[in-house]
Every structure is written in structure tokens, then in C-alpha cells.
Structure 1
Amino acid sequence: MIFSKNIAVTALSTLVLTAFHANPAWALDFKTAYEAALQHDATILAERAAAQAAQERLPQALSQRRPSLSLSAGQNRNHLESQTANMLGQRSVSERYYDSNNAALQLRQPLYRPAILAQIKQARAQVQDADAVLDVNENDLLERVAQAYFDALLGQVQLDLASAQKTAFAAQLQSAQKGFAAGVGMRTDVDEAQARMDLAHAQVLQAQQALDLARRRLALLLGVPVAQLVQLADLDTQRFAPSAPVPTSAEQWIALAEESSPQLQALRARLRAAQAEVDKAQAGHKPTLDVVATVSRSDSDSVTSINTVYKQKYVGVQLNVPLYSGGYVSSTVRQALAEVQRMQQTLEAAQRDLSNQVYEQFSAMTEGVLRIAALEQAVRSAQQALLSSQKSLQAGARTTVDVLNAEQQLTVAQRDLAQARYGYVLAHLKLQMLAGQERMANVDAVNRWLKTQG
């Protein structure tokens, strides 16, 4: 099993490392990144092992109500020494050595054991808890991959914008220097262009550092060297069409999350397990009833049965009635009831927190649609403003500072638009996960918004 998993990790990592070099137009998409992380992330691998271990609780509990068969056998070498007094009062000692053997085969079938029924119910709840926790952790991994993936995309956008702005400022600086040297420009234009150029250079360095950190986080999740992380597929603005979430009511999403959230499913399973623990504890006050069948054979069992063989068979019922255990059972019942109350309050707190999270992501999607539309218009307006400023500068109606301001305004609008788009995608993913929607269908939906060909 471990060997096959290692093969899967190697194969997926090889795909990530070599596909781009084999085809420069190919870009790593979000789905492939998530699948690679699923095979590599240590937290997920640990949770899978924990879920697999928890699965064994149920067969262990079920085995308690099935018949049990046991065999016991023994062989002994006995030394018998006896002392007796004769008629004259003298003691005589005699010694005897003999072998004794015994064997017994016993079958026991529980008929009435309330603790076993409670244990089975508890085991089922624990298995459901482990499965839900694995689901929660896979959702968490999806969120981490998405955050790193789109942070890397945003970092690339910011670096590209900062570099383009630096290039534009450099051109403006060169133009201002030529104008000043020719006696048709002002020193303030040169100084302003130089200041903007220096600031743009610092912003390029900052954007490069942010991009490097984002790519490193993503590479660690995917299990590939950061130096060989391939190009990422970006949003296809022609296919990316943000829309308000459906259902269109936050209350409906909250109700859906309360029903299907894996986090709440895990907590509800723990509550059922705690309630089953109460039943187990209370079973300590109840009698148990078993069917017992035994076949035994013994020879030379005692000094009075040397060289005698006994064979015995019997079938019967065995009743065990607890009378007093020093208060232990009552204490375990109180402890279990307190744990049930703790789980109830934990579940209530989680429901409230989930409601806030759902509303936050629902609002982020709803407002994101409006914000993206507004920023798209802002970019168009900034582009037109830049074009007008450049033409006015040529006509002498505007200064270099006006063009620099227009350049910066366009860069800010483009950066904010990219942030709004990626923020909408993240909000979409988080809302779907909080509501317990099918994870891979959610990944596929996001992946369709990307362009994987260069």
C-alpha cells in the first residue's frame, strides 16, 4: 500500500515537472494542483490513516456479540510426599511422582449485554466522525491550495503591472529629461518622473518577493521543487462570468450548511458517540446473560484421582448480576453525561460560527459580482484617461505629472480588478465547502474558468 502511494506521488509530481517542458504552451491548472496536493500533503495522509484505523472500531464492536471459542490445556508433573505414623508412633515417609493433564474447550454466546449494543452504536458514530473529519481536512487542503494558487497568480499580475509601470515611468523620465535638456521642459517634470521611477522599482522588488513566497507555498503543497514549478493557468476572462450565488438567499445557504457541513457532521457524530458512552456506563448496573457450552477432559486431577480420567460436557446459561462496585458505575455515568453536555454546547457554538462564515462568504460573492463589474468599468475609464492625458501632453495641455498620475491610476484599477476576481473565486470555493457540496465538482467548476493553453 505504501509502495503504491509512493508511485502515485512520483507519477503526479513527474507530470507537474515535465509537462510544461514537453509543451511550453501547457499550464498547470487548479485541478491538477489539488490532485497533486492530495497525494503529497502529510496532514491528509495522516487523516486517511486515522480514518482507516477508525473503521476497525466497528468490526471490533460487532465481534463482541458473536460467539467466542477458547481452548485451554495444561500438563503438570506432580510430586506427592506423605508422612504417616505406625503403631509404635514412628513416622514413615512415602513419595510418589505422577503426571496430570487437563484440557477444556469452551463456547460462550452473549444473549443479553447492553454494554455491547451501546459499544456498537458508539463505534458507528466514531467511524462517521473519522470520515467527516477526513472530509473537513480535504476541504481545508482545497482551501490552502486555492489560496496559494491564486496568491501566486495575483503575485504574477502585480509583478507584471509593477514592471509595466516601471517601464512606462522610465519612458516618461527619458522624455522629461530630453525636454528639459532641449529647454522646453521643466525640472519638476524630471524630478517627478524620477521619483515615480524609483518608487516603481521598489514596487517591482516587493512584487517579486511576494510572488516568490506564494510560489514556494504552492510548491510545498504540491511536493515539487519551487525552482521547477511550472506556469499556472490563469482566469480566462472570456469564460469567467461571476454571478450571484444560487440559492440567492443567505438563509438558504445557512440551512444547507447546517444540514450538510462536514464539520457539523463530525460534531454530531461525536455527540452520538458521547450519548452511547452514557448507555455503556449505565449498562454497568444491568445484568448480563450468556450461553456457555464446555467440553473438558482431565486425568490424575488430584491425589485421590491418580490414574483416573474424567470427561465432562455441559451446556447452560450464565447470569451475572452486579450488586455493588463502590460507586464506580455511578461515577462513570455522571462523567459521560457531562461529556454529552460539553458536546452539545460545542455543536451549538460551531453552528453559530458556521452561520457567520457562510454569511461572510455569501456576501463576498454577492458583493464581488458588483465590485468586479465596477472595476472593469474603472479599468476602461482609466485606460481612456491615460490615452487622453498622453494626447493632451503632446498638445501641451497636460503635464508629465498628469500622465504619471493616469498611469498609476490605471495600474491600481487593474490590480484591484485582479484581486476582486481571485477573491470571488475563493469565496465561491469556500461557500461551496461550508455548505458541504461535492468537492471535485466544485474544483471542476473553477477549473473551467481557467485557460490551460498559452
Structure 2
Amino acid sequence: MERKGLGAIMLSLALAVAPAVKADTIAAALTDAYNNSGLLDQNRALLRAADEDLAQAVATTRPIINWSMGATSTRSRTTSDASTLHRATAGISGSLPLYTGGSNRLAIEAQKETILGTRQSLRAVEQDVLFRAVQAYMNVRRDTEFLSLRQNNVRVITQEFRAAQDRFDVGEVTRTDVSLAEARLAAARSLLAAAQGNLAQSVEEFRTAVGRMPSGLAPVSPAPASRSEAEAKAFAVRNHPVILETQHAVAAAELTIRRAEAALGPSLSLEGSISTSNSWGDTGPVDLSRDFDDRTRSQQAQIGISAGGPIYNGGRLSSQIRQLMSNRDATRAGLHVAALGIEQQVGNAYASLVVARASRVASNQQIRAAQVAFDGVREEATLGARTTLDVLNAEQELLDARANSISAQADEVIASYALLAAVGLLTVDHLNLPVQQYDPSSYYNLAKNAPVVHSSQGQALDRVLRAIGHE
């Protein structure tokens, strides 16, 4: 049963990563990761919600018109009289802010800064999605090659074990040599099972990050680094989405402070209303012998200007201003922290890239030397000049060299893309991926003027949201 289970795992993994007629490429994986990302869809929706906050800020500068209707019926009864009074009213009222000390305008400008910051947040999420896909792609390639390496290792040690048994049978080696080979074979099979498990996990991560199963992943070259480390750091602190998002947050905080200060001043608004009412009813003694119909109609219209402003509010508004200033200062400090963090990311990515390149070169040299040593030791063992342990040790050194080379190649590619992400260039636009890019300005342009439901723009927004909801 155990061997059958192992065979099933091997078959499923082989089918998952088997080469297809056309090899899967890193560009195809990144394209599918972009197109299938639910995280990107989530943050695009948050950006559209921020666009609607701007529309609501614009709406505060426009007239507000409401209608109202009502009807009442009142029944009165005394010892000698009874009466019924019916009343129906209808009216329209409206108001328009004439002067708010710039508060409404500042709210609009602050929301524009928030939207620009949210766009940069979406760009940062895009980088995270693509980098996760790169890591998933390279880990599948790494673990696939590790699995192949472990399978070959089991075959080689199996041959050595059989050779040790044959030599023991003719008295050339002792039982110790056979036991050493048997122990190494058991360890190799254990490592093979671990490699199968690692590959299975990497395949699942690939499916989650890219949105599909891998198929025959092609080799990947490291992304080119066209800037020096110092130039990359300078570029990153000017263009990384985290930096730009924080800069817009600082600008929005400044505008929010000015808006709070404007609330200390007076405000002026125009107000008007039109209403009409109808009243009718029956009055008379209890015997109803004197019932009659009494109808009254009245109309009223008024227009006026109202002004007002705070005189004393217990210090609440002043406290709010000081609180906003503190929040602004915290955001400024966050900008400094973010810049240091981005510079550190660039430096770390450069260091990892240099280490991976050096490790790859050294590993290739190690493989060549270890291969020569292994071939020589095995040949000498057949002549009786080397022990079984010597052969197993030489084989292990060759295995380690090949594993180091595989890891170094994957680490170099991942580090190169990490460097792109650190400077803010791991985007579908910079990578020139064949995708339909999401345009944040399309929805913004439709929503920014706060269109009403029955307008052409309002209907266009409704169609956009319905289309997104059915995707």
C-alpha cells in the first residue's frame, strides 16, 4: 500500500509539471497571475470606492432639493358636537451652500490626494502579486529539479548497494560496507519522499499565485539590473509606490487640517421652500342634523439666507485641529521611515543578487570537480583501492554541488525580480506583459462629477459595475 501511494504521488506530480508541447514561460505565468488575481480585484474595488468619496465631496457643493408629502385625519367628539378634520400637505424644499470658508473645496482636494494614494497602493499590490508568481514559478522549477536529483541519487546508491553486496559475496568487503550502503539508500529514499512533498506544496502555491497548475516550466534568465545600487536607491525613493502613496497621504493630511480650520469661520447658505395644504372636514351636533363640508386650501413659499458659525464648543474644534496636525506629523515621519525601508530593500536585493551569482559560479566549478572525483573514486573502488564509504561520500559531494547550483540559479532569478520590485518597476507595464491593463482613470472620469442615477454618466457607471459584478 505504501508503494502504491508513493507511485500515485509521483504520477500526479509528473502530470502537474510534465513538459507540454509549448513550454510554460515566466511571462505567461505573470500574465495569468495578473489576470486571475482576486487581490487585485479587491483593491480595484477599493479604488472605485475612493472615487465615489470624491463624488460625494463634490455633491456637498451643489443644491440639495427634497420633497415631502403627508396626510392626517383627526376625529374629535364632545358632549354636544362631533367633528372630523382631514389635512393633506405637499412641499419642496432646497438649500445651497454659498460660503463655507473653503471647507467643501478643501474636502474635494483632499479626496483627490487620497485617490492618488490609493492608486499607488494598487500598484504596490500589483508588484506583490507578480513577485509572488515569480517565487512560485522558481520554486516549482527548483523543487522539480531537486526531485529529479533525488530520484537519480536513489538509483546511484541502489547500484552502489548492489555492488557492495556482490563484493561482499566474493569476500572483497565486509558486512560494514554493505550496511553503510544500505543506510545511505534508506536516507536517500527519505529525502526523495521529502522532495516529493516539497514539490507538491510548491505546485499548490503556484496554483494559488498564478491561478492554474504549472506545465513544463521553461528556464528563466535573471531580470537585467541596468542601474548601480546607488542609482537604484535614488530612483526607488522617488518612484516606489509606497513612497508615492505616503506623499499623497501627507498632502491629504495638510488639506484636512486647513478644512478643520475653515470650520472655525462662518458659513452662508441659501434656503427656500414651497408647500401647499388642503383641509376639509365635517362638524355639527351629535345627531348630525347640521353636517356640512368645510374645505380650506393654503399655499406658502419662502426663500432666505442663513448664516452661522461657532462661538464656543468647549474646545472640541481646536482639539480636532491639533489632533489632525499630530496625524500629519506622524504621516510625515512615516514617509521618512518608508524611504529608509525602501533603500534597505534595494540594498538587500542587490546583496542577494551578488551572493546568488557568486554561488552559481562556484557551484558550477564545484560540480565539475566533484564529478571528476566521483568518477575516479568509483573506478578506484572497483580495483579495491577505495572503500564503499569513499564512493558514497564522493557521490554525496556531487549531489550537494548540484543542489547548490540549482538553488543558486533560482535565488539569482528571484533576487533580480526582488530588485525590480524594490525600485518599483515590477509592473505589467514595465515588463511589457500582454495583458489588458486596468485603467483607474476610466471609472474616475465617470464618477468624479457625481452624476445622478438617470444621467448618461450615471447609467454608464451602472453598466460598469454590473459588468464587473458578472465577471
Instruction: Give yes or no for TM over 0.5.
Output: yes
1:315-355 deviation digits (Å, cap 9, x = unpaired): x6443232222322112112212221222222322222222
1:400-422 deviation digits (Å, cap 9, x = unpaired): 43332222112111111111111
Following the alignment from structure 2 to structure 1, what is the Cα–Cα distance between the partners of residues 310 and 70?
Answer: 32
Range with greater deviation from structure 2 (215-224 or 336-345): 215-224
Aligned to 2:121: 133
1:119 partnered with 2:115:
no
Following the alignment from structure 2 to structure 1, what is the Cα–Cα distance between the partners of residues 431 and 390?
Answer: 44
Following the alignment from structure 1 to structure 2, what is the Cα–Cα distance between the partners of residues 310 and 401?
Answer: 110
Q: Letter of the aligned partner of 2:322 in structure 1?
A: R
The gaps in structure 2 that reach 5 residues or longer are: 1-14, 280-294, 434-471
Following the alignment from structure 2 to structure 1, what is the Cα–Cα distance between the partners of residues 432 and 239?
Answer: 20
Q: 1:132 to 1:155 in 2, by over 3 A?
A: same
Aligned to 1:432: 420
Q: Letter of the aligned partner of 1:64 in structure 2?
A: T
Aligned to 2:242: 263
Q: Contact 2:349 / 2:419 at 8 angstroms: preserved in 1?
A: yes
1:224-246 deviation digits (Å, cap 9, x = unpaired): 5xxxx34341315xxx3x58722
Per the normalisation by structure 1, the TM-score is 0.77
Following the alignment from structure 1 to structure 2, what is the Cα–Cα distance between the partners of residues 23 and 201?
Answer: 25
Q: Which residue among 222, 225, 234 is the counterpart of 2:218?
A: 234
Q: Contact 1:109 / 1:290 at 8 angstroms: preserved in 2?
A: yes
Q: 1:32 to 1:244 in 2, by over 3 A?
A: closer
Q: Which residue among 145, 155, 158 is the counterpart of 2:133?
A: 145
Aligned to 1:383: 371
Aligned to 2:43: 47
Aligned to 1:407: 395
3-state SS of the aligned residue for 2:268?
strand
Q: Contact 1:244 / 1:365 at 8 angstroms: preserved in 2?
A: no
Q: 1:81 to 1:122 in 2, by over 3 A?
A: farther
Q: Letter of the aligned partner of 1:67 in structure 2?
A: P
1:81-102 deviation digits (Å, cap 9, x = unpaired): 99xxxxxxxxx99887666665
Percentage of identical aligned residues? 24
Aligned to 2:96: 109
Q: Letter of the aligned partner of 1:109 in structure 2?
A: L
Following the alignment from structure 2 to structure 1, what is the Cα–Cα distance between the partners of residues 199 and 297?
Answer: 90
Aligned to 1:67: 63
Following the alignment from structure 2 to structure 1, what is the Cα–Cα distance between the partners of residues 316 and 173?
Answer: 95
CA RMSD of aligned residues (A): 3.4
- CA apart distance, 1:423: 0.9
Q: 1:221 to 1:369 in 2, by over 3 A?
A: closer
Aligned to 2:291: none
1:347-384 deviation digits (Å, cap 9, x = unpaired): 32222222211110111123322222222222222223
Q: Contact 1:383 / 1:410 at 8 angstroms: preserved in 2?
A: yes
Following the alignment from structure 1 to structure 2, what is the Cα–Cα distance between the partners of residues 420 and 123?
Answer: 47
Following the alignment from structure 2 to structure 1, what is the Cα–Cα distance between the partners of residues 412 and 430?
Answer: 14
3-state SS of the aligned residue for 2:312?
coil
Following the alignment from structure 2 to structure 1, what is the Cα–Cα distance between the partners of residues 223 and 365?
Answer: 17
- CA apart distance, 1:49: 2.3
Aligned to 1:199: 187
Paired residues, what number?
404
Q: 1:65 to 1:416 in 2, by over 3 A?
A: same
Q: Contact 1:36 / 1:223 at 8 angstroms: preserved in 2?
A: yes
1:43-81 deviation digits (Å, cap 9, x = unpaired): 443323222222211111111112333334555567899
Q: 1:213 to 1:383 in 2, by over 3 A?
A: same
Following the alignment from structure 1 to structure 2, what is the Cα–Cα distance between the partners of residues 149 and 50?
Answer: 29
Per the normalisation by structure 2, the TM-score is 0.74
Range with greater deviation from structure 2 (362-371 or 420-429): 362-371
The gaps in structure 1 that reach 5 residues or longer are: 1-18, 83-91, 301-305, 446-454
Aligned to 1:359: 347
Q: Contact 2:224 / 2:416 at 8 angstroms: preserved in 1?
A: no
Q: 1:210 to 1:386 in 2, by over 3 A?
A: same
Following the alignment from structure 1 to structure 2, what is the Cα–Cα distance between the partners of residues 379 and 309?
Answer: 102
Following the alignment from structure 1 to structure 2, what is the Cα–Cα distance between the partners of residues 75 and 171?
Answer: 99
- CA apart distance, 1:120: 0.8
Following the alignment from structure 1 to structure 2, what is the Cα–Cα distance between the partners of residues 292 and 71?
Answer: 14
1:279-330 deviation digits (Å, cap 9, x = unpaired): 2322220112334455555678xxxxx957455464x644323222232211
Aligned to 1:57: 53
